[in-house]
Amino acid sequence: MSAPSIRMDLLSVLRTLHDVRTDEVLLTSMGNGREWQQFEPHPLDFVHVPSSMGQTQSWGLGIAIAQPSRRVVACCGDGSLLMNLGSLVTIANVAPANFTLLVFDNGVYEVTGGQSTPASNIDQLIGQQIGFARLAEECGFRHTERITTLDEWQRRAETLLKSVGPVCAVLEVAPQTKDYSVRSPGRPKERVREFAATLQESG
């Protein structure tokens, strides 16, 4: 069995992302989107709360294709990524140089009640961790990393947002133990229209 490790606090990880972020489009979803709303809003933020999990990275890919001069950062959880693993192949095939995928790996489907993911169950059964960063590398991402400490993330965050993509960074974070439900950021139709207008005006 693999030895237990102390995982990073999600809010601390997001605070570092907030501190180094400049003019990148930043898409958050589910649990990370809930916590991201604690920071002051940015016009190029979009909290994506879809009816189906795993779509944020695909949506981010579309924006990266449409606006190749703008950096796009898509944030998803490990549970969401498991719902759409094929997106890794699609992203690698398109190979957008302006795209970074951040995967917050907490081992659970947090917003539905904290059930263990199949990947987490494999880790517990055979002591072999599912390597999402390795999966991205095998799919053809230009750069992949797995980050396990806050110090390491603070050193690497800015570079990972600027490096030639596609980039995939997997961050080991602890699951939330309370208040883990999704928090609505507001009316979706109005937010999409406002976000699209911002992209067109500033692109």
Interval 175-192 mean pLDDT: 69
Q: At what angle do helices 132-139 and 86-94 cross, to 10 degrees?
A: 40
Other beta carbons less than 10 A from residue 158's beta carbon: 15
* Amino acid letter, residue 105: D
Task: Say what the pTM is.
Answer: 0.86
Could you give the CA distance from residue 8 to residue 67 in angstroms, rounded to a whole number? 32
Domain that holds residue 190: 10-202
- Judged by average pLDDT, the poorest of 21-25, 35-39, 90-94 is 35-39
Confidence of residue 182 (pLDDT cuts 50, 70, 90): low
pLDDT in tens, 110-166: 666 666 777 765 555 445 566 899 999 999 999 999 999 999 999 999 999 999 999
Is residue 61 within 8 Å of residue 87, measured between CB atoms? yes
Confidence of residue 9 (pLDDT cuts 50, 70, 90): very high
Interval 17-29 mean pLDDT: 94
**Quick check: is 66 in a domain?**
yes
Query: How distant, in Å, are the alpha carbons of 7, 82, 117, 149, 164 from that of 93?
Result: 32, 19, 27, 30, 15
- Residue with the bigger pLDDT between 61 and 190: it is 61
Could you give the CA distance from residue 68 to residue 98 in angstroms, rounded to a whole number? 6
Is residue 96 within 8 Å of residue 65, measured between CB atoms? yes
**Quick check: is 51 in a domain?**
yes
Interval 173-182 mean pLDDT: 73
Output the pLDDT for position 34: 81
Output the pLDDT for position 2: 45
**Quick check: is 3 in a domain?**
no
Element (H, E) at 51: none
Residue 101: give its domain's CATH number: 3.40.50.970
The C-alpha torsion from 82 through 88 and 91 to 95, rounded to 10°, is 150
Please list, residue by residue across 107-131, b when 16 or more beta carbons sit within 10 angstroms of its beta carbon and e when fewer do: bbbbbeeeeebebbeebeeeeebbe
Output the pLDDT for position 3: 46
pLDDT in tens, 64-113: 999 999 999 999 999 889 989 999 999 999 999 999 999 999 887 666 66
Q: What residues contact residue 173 under an 8 Å CB cut-off, 6+ apart?
A: 7, 8, 9, 10, 13, 104, 105, 106
- Residue with the bigger pLDDT between 50 and 29: it is 29
**Quick check: is 53 in a domain?**
yes
Could you give the CA distance from residue 53 to residue 111 in angstroms, rounded to a whole number? 11
Number of domains in the chain: 1
